[in-house]
Amino acid sequence: MFNKVILVGNLSKDITLKSGGSMTIANTTIAVNRKFKTQSGGMGEEVLFIDITFFAKQAEVANQYLKKGSKLLIEGRLKLDTWQDQQGNNRSKHSVIVENMEMLGNKENQENTDNQAKNDNQTKNDNKYYETDNDTIPF
Protein backbone atom coordinates (compact mmCIF):
# COMPACT_ATOMS: atom_id res chain seq x y z
CA MET A 1 0.00 0.00 0.00
CA PHE A 2 0.98 3.63 -0.45
CA ASN A 3 1.51 5.74 2.70
CA LYS A 4 2.93 9.19 1.87
CA VAL A 5 2.36 12.52 3.62
CA ILE A 6 3.68 15.93 2.51
CA LEU A 7 3.25 18.88 4.87
CA VAL A 8 4.42 22.49 4.94
CA GLY A 9 4.15 24.41 8.17
CA ASN A 10 5.90 25.91 11.16
CA LEU A 11 7.20 24.07 14.20
CA SER A 12 4.94 24.87 17.15
CA LYS A 13 7.52 23.87 19.76
CA ASP A 14 11.24 23.23 20.12
CA ILE A 15 12.59 19.79 19.33
CA THR A 16 12.96 17.16 22.05
CA LEU A 17 16.03 15.00 21.37
CA LYS A 18 16.46 11.50 22.80
CA SER A 19 19.49 9.26 22.34
CA GLY A 20 19.27 5.61 23.22
CA GLY A 21 22.03 3.21 22.29
CA SER A 22 22.88 3.79 18.64
CA MET A 23 19.60 5.54 17.72
CA THR A 24 18.82 9.26 17.99
CA ILE A 25 15.17 10.35 17.93
CA ALA A 26 13.82 13.91 17.70
CA ASN A 27 10.17 14.77 18.35
CA THR A 28 8.26 17.99 17.76
CA THR A 29 4.95 19.29 16.40
CA ILE A 30 4.28 21.05 13.11
CA ALA A 31 1.39 23.50 12.69
CA VAL A 32 -0.24 23.38 9.26
CA ASN A 33 -2.72 26.09 8.21
CA ARG A 34 -5.60 25.71 5.77
CA LYS A 35 -7.63 28.69 4.61
CA PHE A 36 -11.12 28.18 3.22
CA LYS A 37 -14.26 30.03 2.26
CA THR A 38 -17.09 29.76 4.79
CA GLN A 39 -20.76 29.26 3.90
CA SER A 40 -21.39 32.92 4.72
CA GLY A 41 -18.77 33.96 2.15
CA GLY A 42 -16.08 34.99 4.63
CA MET A 43 -12.69 33.42 5.04
CA GLY A 44 -11.99 30.81 7.70
CA GLU A 45 -8.78 29.21 8.84
CA GLU A 46 -8.08 25.80 10.31
CA VAL A 47 -4.82 24.95 12.07
CA LEU A 48 -3.73 21.35 12.53
CA PHE A 49 -1.03 20.41 15.02
CA ILE A 50 0.68 17.20 13.93
CA ASP A 51 3.35 15.34 15.90
CA ILE A 52 6.42 14.48 13.81
CA THR A 53 9.44 12.26 14.50
CA PHE A 54 12.94 12.35 13.00
CA PHE A 55 15.44 9.49 13.29
CA ALA A 56 19.24 9.08 13.23
CA LYS A 57 21.32 11.78 11.47
CA GLN A 58 18.20 13.65 10.36
CA ALA A 59 17.20 13.97 14.04
CA GLU A 60 20.57 15.53 14.86
CA VAL A 61 20.34 17.96 11.92
CA ALA A 62 16.78 18.94 12.85
CA ASN A 63 17.82 19.52 16.47
CA GLN A 64 20.77 21.67 15.38
CA TYR A 65 19.01 23.90 12.84
CA LEU A 66 15.29 23.96 13.71
CA LYS A 67 13.45 25.65 16.55
CA LYS A 68 9.95 26.80 17.40
CA GLY A 69 8.63 28.88 14.47
CA SER A 70 10.94 27.34 11.83
CA LYS A 71 9.22 26.84 8.47
CA LEU A 72 9.61 23.33 7.14
CA LEU A 73 8.49 21.03 4.33
CA ILE A 74 8.41 17.37 5.32
CA GLU A 75 7.74 14.14 3.47
CA GLY A 76 7.02 11.04 5.45
CA ARG A 77 4.62 8.30 6.37
CA LEU A 78 1.60 8.32 8.63
CA LYS A 79 1.81 6.22 11.79
CA LEU A 80 -0.92 5.31 14.29
CA ASP A 81 0.21 5.18 17.93
CA THR A 82 -2.04 3.29 20.36
CA TRP A 83 -1.86 2.95 24.16
CA GLN A 84 -3.95 2.61 27.28
CA ASP A 85 -4.32 5.58 29.61
CA GLN A 86 -4.24 5.36 33.42
CA GLN A 87 -7.97 4.60 33.54
CA GLY A 88 -7.53 1.66 31.14
CA ASN A 89 -9.14 3.42 28.16
CA ASN A 90 -7.72 2.72 24.72
CA ARG A 91 -6.20 5.87 23.21
CA SER A 92 -4.69 6.59 19.79
CA LYS A 93 -3.19 9.39 17.74
CA HIS A 94 -1.66 9.82 14.33
CA SER A 95 1.87 11.10 13.82
CA VAL A 96 4.25 11.44 10.88
CA ILE A 97 7.60 9.67 10.60
CA VAL A 98 9.79 12.10 8.63
CA GLU A 99 11.69 10.58 5.71
CA ASN A 100 12.77 13.80 3.95
CA MET A 101 12.76 17.44 4.98
CA GLU A 102 13.49 20.81 3.46
CA MET A 103 14.11 23.83 5.66
CA LEU A 104 12.25 26.78 4.18
CA GLY A 105 13.68 29.47 6.41
CA ASN A 106 12.27 31.26 9.42
CA LYS A 107 11.13 34.74 10.39
CA GLU A 108 14.70 35.93 10.98
CA ASN A 109 15.74 34.86 7.47
CA GLN A 110 12.64 36.45 5.95
CA GLU A 111 13.27 39.72 7.82
CA ASN A 112 16.91 39.71 6.71
CA THR A 113 15.81 39.07 3.11
CA ASP A 114 13.23 41.88 3.30
CA ASN A 115 15.84 44.29 4.74
CA GLN A 116 18.33 43.30 2.03
CA ALA A 117 15.72 43.94 -0.66
CA LYS A 118 14.99 47.39 0.82
CA ASN A 119 18.72 48.20 0.85
CA ASP A 120 19.07 47.04 -2.76
CA ASN A 121 16.14 49.24 -3.81
CA GLN A 122 17.67 52.24 -2.03
CA THR A 123 20.96 51.63 -3.82
CA LYS A 124 19.19 51.39 -7.17
CA ASN A 125 17.29 54.61 -6.48
CA ASP A 126 20.56 56.41 -5.70
CA ASN A 127 21.74 55.89 -9.29
CA LYS A 128 21.58 59.11 -11.25
CA TYR A 129 19.11 59.46 -14.05
CA TYR A 130 20.53 60.90 -17.24
CA GLU A 131 18.27 62.49 -19.77
CA THR A 132 19.05 61.53 -23.32
CA ASP A 133 17.95 62.92 -26.59
CA ASN A 134 16.38 60.32 -28.88
CA ASP A 135 18.72 61.53 -31.66
CA THR A 136 21.77 60.31 -29.70
CA ILE A 137 20.55 56.71 -29.45
CA PRO A 138 22.27 54.71 -32.22
CA PHE A 139 19.28 52.55 -33.16
Predicted confidence (pLDDT) per residue in 22-68, tens digit: 889 999 999 999 999 999 989 999 999 999 999 999 999 999 999 99
Beta strand residue intervals within 12-112, DSSP E: 16-20, 23-37, 43-55, 71-84, 90-105
Residue 139 domain-assigned?
no
Spatial distance between the Cα atoms of 124 and 131, rounded to a whole number of angstroms: 17
What pLDDT was estimated at residue 65?
Answer: 93
Number of domains in the chain: 1
Query: Domain holding 107: CATH number?
Result: 2.40.50.140
For residue 113, being part of any structural domain is answered with yes
What are the backbone angles phi and psi of residue 63, rounded to the nearest 5°?
A: -65, -35
In this structure, which amino acid lies at residue 84? Q
* pLDDT confidence of residue 92: 96
Residue 127 banded pLDDT, cuts 50, 70, 90: very low
pLDDT (0 to 100) of residue 137: 53
Model confidence over 76-113: pLDDT tens digits? 999 999 999 999 999 999 999 999 999 997 456 545 44
Q: Give me the domain span that covers residue 99.
A: 5-127
Confirm whether 101 is domain-assigned.
yes
Whether the CB-CB separation of 37 and 17 falls below 8 Å is answered with no
Establish if 120 belongs to a structural domain: yes
Q: Is residue 98 domain-resident?
A: yes
Q: Is the pLDDT of residue 132 over 90?
A: no
* pTM for the model: 0.71
